[in-house]
């Protein structure tokens, strides 16, 4: 049997193989901490075996999908790992989504088992899911099978699932709670590349990682997976709170944390920050949203340990990293490509741009999605191929390399809004607005927000003879969408500004909103 060190040096291993190796070698080492609860590697591995055996008992086979809608917990992680050990793909879904959106994603993923908590059960109450599936409540419950009752007895072990590198590790849904977002299929090989990369950010058996972002986010998984793979300790937060984050970081002598920029902003503004002992930190990372240079400077000045910004997509492709502590004069950039990753800039004609020119960023690496689930056309449109036939993933972002090879982001080619680290697609909100009987047209743009980084604002064109209050319309929309999608404001406009070919000029709307609110 291979030990953990040998597995980490191999060409391919699974996360649950590494878990079992750590359980054999360092079984009494604490793996997970949640509040007053502690679970060591031996106990976690045993629980994962029982969960995998239970899934196989219920008919889950290699390649099947298991959905989870819940806050982060020890039970959630048990199911996450148990699904992988059973050979299934895990489908973590956002609890903030509407019940209808959750049902659509569960159906799209063809999940055979659904794990949920009280809040998710409430959202799905009365919502029809168009497929038969086993439902298990992770925190007990009256209408669903409770997790302890569902779990196989102690000593149960699953049949070995022969997982291959190209098998699906997880399916992450891109965004949105209206309609059906795209399911991004990420392979075992993609996650293995994240594990192998973990040594560069200091993950090790003595590392303590504070998990404060949700497990349905790729942001979390790029930290969670290597932290566990290297046999460290994970401290779990079900919901982020700046003061509680600092308390836990000091109490548990945390060494690693992955945070989105808005979390850094709130932490640096927390009154107790400068009185908190954060000297144990080795590495802080950030991704998912633009990270202002001024905020990076503040983190470097006041928070011990290294700071690395990661630029990439859930879909994968090329990844850039900026070691901010090493390059304080490059804080306006997102750094350079990581080893083995190729980044190209292409022009409007899909040809590689000349050096120094701006254009769309595309990337190639071992960490690329298989594609979008059930969406072959969308999968093809997300790809670009160079003259040698090498496959790249389009980012939809516009950027430019400087003379030192650092990438500067200029704008987003797509109009996606990133609010609090979550992706919001304007088309979802625009579709809802057009459902209102008084509205003939609508456009949604992202505007800067001190609290969220960005927040969505809608401009609407009303039908003739249909006046109405903008605030009433905002409340109407916000009651129909997920929590992370809620509109900050609605403004009525006579006509939407458009280009000669009819495209809405959202940059003009953004500028209009900001100009009207200048002091």
Q: Quick one: 180 and 116 in the same domain? A: yes
Q: Answer whether residue 212 is part of any domain.
A: no
Q: Answer whether residue 263 is part of any domain.
A: no
Question: Which phi and psi (to 5°) does residue 400 adopt?
Answer: -155, 140
Report pLDDT for 143.
63
Could you report how far apart the first and last alpha carbons of the chain are, in Å?
A: 68
Q: Answer whether residue 241 is part of any domain.
A: no
Q: Quick one: 331 and 462 in the same domain? A: no
Of 374, 397, 412, the position where a domain reaches its end is 412
Q: Would you tell me how many other CB atoms lie within 10 Å of the CB of residue 100?
A: 17
Q: Answer whether residue 34 is part of any domain.
A: no
Strand 145-146 vs strand 134-137: parallel, antiparallel, or unpaired?
Answer: parallel
Q: Quick one: 430 and 475 in the same domain? A: yes
Q: Quick one: 357 and 456 in the same domain? A: no
Which helix (H) or strand (E) is 85 found in, with range? helix 74-85
Report pLDDT for 230.
98
Rounded distance between C-alpha atoms, residue 360 and residue 382, angstroms: 12
Of 134, 153, 186, the position where a domain reaches its end is 186
Q: Is 33 left (phi over 0), alpha (psi -120 to 50) or beta?
A: beta
Report pLDDT for 319.
95
Report pLDDT for 142.
62
Rounded distance between C-alpha atoms, residue 314 and residue 21, angstroms: 29
Q: Quick one: 422 and 438 in the same domain? A: yes
Handedness of CA 43, 44, 49, 53 (dihedral sign): positive
Q: Is 388 left (phi over 0), alpha (psi -120 to 50) or beta?
A: alpha
Q: Quick one: 67 and 14 in the same domain? A: yes
Rounded distance between C-alpha atoms, residue 160 and residue 61, angstroms: 11
Model pLDDT for residues 14-70, shown as the tens digit of each residue: 999 999 999 999 999 999 999 999 999 999 999 999 999 999 999 999 999 999 999
Q: Which domain holds residue 176?
A: 4-26+41-186
In this structure, what token pair is assigned to residue 370? 């298989």
Q: Answer whether residue 255 is part of any domain.
A: no
Q: Answer whether residue 101 is part of any domain.
A: yes
Q: Quick one: 364 and 445 in the same domain? A: no
Q: Answer whether residue 104 is part of any domain.
A: yes
Q: Quick one: 372 and 426 in the same domain? A: no
Q: Quick one: 422 and 400 in the same domain? A: no
Domain count, the chain: 3
Q: Would you tell me how many other CB atoms lie within 10 Å of the CB of residue 143?
A: 9
Of 354, 377, 412, the position where a domain reaches its end is 412
Residue 326 maps to which CATH number?
A: 2.30.38.10
Q: Residue 309's beta-bridge partner residues?
A: 286, 322
Q: Quick one: 64 and 18 in the same domain? A: yes
Report pLDDT for 519.
63
In this structure, what token pair is assigned to residue 178? 């209206």
In this structure, what token pair is assigned to residue 293? 């240079």
Among the listed residues 48, 58, 54, the one whose alpha carbon sits nearest the alpha carbon of residue 85? 48
Residue-by-residue pLDDT tens, the chain, 519 positions: 579 999 999 999 999 999 999 999 999 999 999 999 999 999 999 999 999 999 999 999 999 999 999 999 999 999 999 999 999 999 999 988 889 989 999 999 999 999 999 999 999 999 999 888 999 999 876 667 899 999 999 999 999 999 999 999 999 998 543 345 799 999 999 999 999 999 989 999 999 999 999 999 999 999 999 999 999 999 999 999 999 999 999 999 999 999 988 899 889 999 999 999 999 999 999 998 778 888 999 999 999 999 999 999 899 999 999 999 999 999 999 999 999 999 999 998 999 999 899 889 999 999 999 999 999 999 999 999 999 999 999 998 888 999 999 999 876 666 778 888 887 877 778 888 988 999 988 999 998 888 888 899 999 999 888 888 889 999 999 999 888 899 999 999 988 887 544 567 888 898 898 888 766
Rounded distance between C-alpha atoms, residue 505 and residue 499, angstroms: 6
Report pLDDT for 18.
98
Q: Quick one: 52 and 12 in the same domain? A: yes
Q: Answer whether residue 12 is part of any domain.
A: yes
Report pLDDT for 177.
30
Handedness of CA 362, 367, 371, 372 (dihedral sign): negative
Which helix (H) or strand (E) is 101 found in, with range? helix 99-109
Q: Are 188 and 166 in contact (CB under 8 A)?
A: yes
Handedness of CA 481, 486, 491, 495 (dihedral sign): negative
Report pLDDT for 106.
96
Residue 447 maps to which CATH number?
A: 3.30.300.30
Q: Are 191 and 183 in contact (CB under 8 A)?
A: no
Q: Per residue in 360-384, is it b (16+ CB within 10 Å) or e — as a string?
A: bbbbbbbbbbbbbbebeeebeebeb
Report pLDDT for 176.
42
Tell how far CA 253 is from the center of its chain.
25
Q: Per residue in 122-134, is it b (16+ CB within 10 Å) or e — as a string?
A: ebbeeeebeeebb
Among the listed residues 504, 22, 492, the one whose alpha carbon sits nearest the alpha carbon of residue 232? 22
Q: Are 3 and 230 in contact (CB under 8 A)?
A: no
Q: Quick one: 141 and 49 in the same domain? A: yes
Rounded distance between C-alpha atoms, residue 492 and residue 438, angstroms: 11
């Amino acid at each position: 049997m291979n030990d953990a060190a040998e597995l980490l040096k191999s060409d391919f291993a699974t996360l649950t193989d590494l878990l079992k190796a750590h359980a054999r070698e360092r079984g009494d080492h604490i793996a997970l901490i949640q509040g007053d609860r502690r679970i060591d590697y031996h106990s976690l591995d045993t629980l994962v075996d029982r969960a995998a055996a239970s899934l196989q008992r219920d008919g889950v086979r290699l390649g099947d999908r298991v959905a989870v809608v819940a806050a982060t917990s020890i039970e959630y992680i048990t199911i996450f790992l148990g699904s992988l050990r059973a050979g299934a793909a895990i489908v973590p879904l956002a609890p903030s989504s509407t019940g209808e959106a959750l049902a659509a994603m569960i159906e799209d993923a063809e999940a055979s088992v659904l794990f949920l908590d009280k809040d998710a059960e409430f959202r799905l109450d009365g919502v029809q899911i168009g497929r038969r599936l086993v439902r298990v409540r992770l925190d007990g419950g009256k209408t669903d099978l409770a997790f302890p009752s569902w779990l196989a007895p102690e000593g149960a072990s699953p049949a070995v699932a022969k997982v291959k590198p190209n098998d699906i590790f997880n399916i992450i849904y891109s965004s949105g709670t209206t309609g059906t977002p795209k399911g991004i299929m990420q392979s075992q090989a993609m996650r293995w590349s994240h594990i192998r990369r973990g040594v560069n950010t200091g993950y090790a058996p003595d590392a303590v990682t504070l998990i404060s972002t949700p497990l349905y986010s790729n942001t979390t998984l790029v930290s969670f997976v290597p932290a566990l793979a290297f046999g460290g300790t994970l401290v779990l937060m079900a919901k982020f709170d700046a003061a509680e984050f600092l308390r836990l970081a000091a109490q548990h002598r945390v060494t690693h944390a992955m945070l989105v920029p808005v979390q850094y902003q709130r932490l640096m503004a927390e009154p107790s920050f400068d009185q908190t002992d954060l000297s144990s930190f080795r590495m802080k990372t950030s991704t998912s949203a633009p990270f202002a240079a001024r905020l990076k400077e503040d983190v470097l000045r006041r928070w011990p340990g290294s700071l690395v910004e990661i630029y990439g997509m859930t879909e994968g492709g090329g990844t850039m990293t900026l070691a901010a502590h090493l390059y304080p004069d490059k804080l306006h950039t997102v750094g350079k490509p990581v080893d083995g990753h190729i980044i190209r800039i292409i022009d409007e004609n899909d040809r590689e741009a000349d050096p120094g020119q701006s254009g769309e960023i595309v990337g190639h690496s071992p960490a690329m999605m298989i594609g979008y689930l059930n969406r072959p056309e969308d999968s093809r449109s997300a790809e670009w191929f160079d003259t040698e036939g090498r496959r790249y993933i389009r980012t939809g972002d516009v950027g430019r390399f400087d003379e030192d090879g650092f990438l500067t982001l200029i704008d987003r080619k797509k109009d996606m809004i990133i609010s609090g680290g979550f992706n919001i697609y304007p088309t979802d909100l625009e579709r809802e607005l057009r459902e209102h009987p008084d509205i003939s047209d609508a456009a949604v743009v992202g505007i800067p927000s001190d609290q969220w980084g960005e927040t969505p604002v809608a401009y609407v064109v009303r039908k003739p003879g249909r006046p109405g209050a903008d605030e009433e319309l905002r409340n109407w929309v916000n009651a129909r969408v997920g929590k992370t999608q809620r509109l900050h404001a609605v403004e009525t406009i006579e006509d939407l500004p458009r280009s000669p070919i009819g495209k809405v000029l959202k940059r003009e709307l953004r500028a209009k909103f900001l100009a009207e609110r200048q002091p």
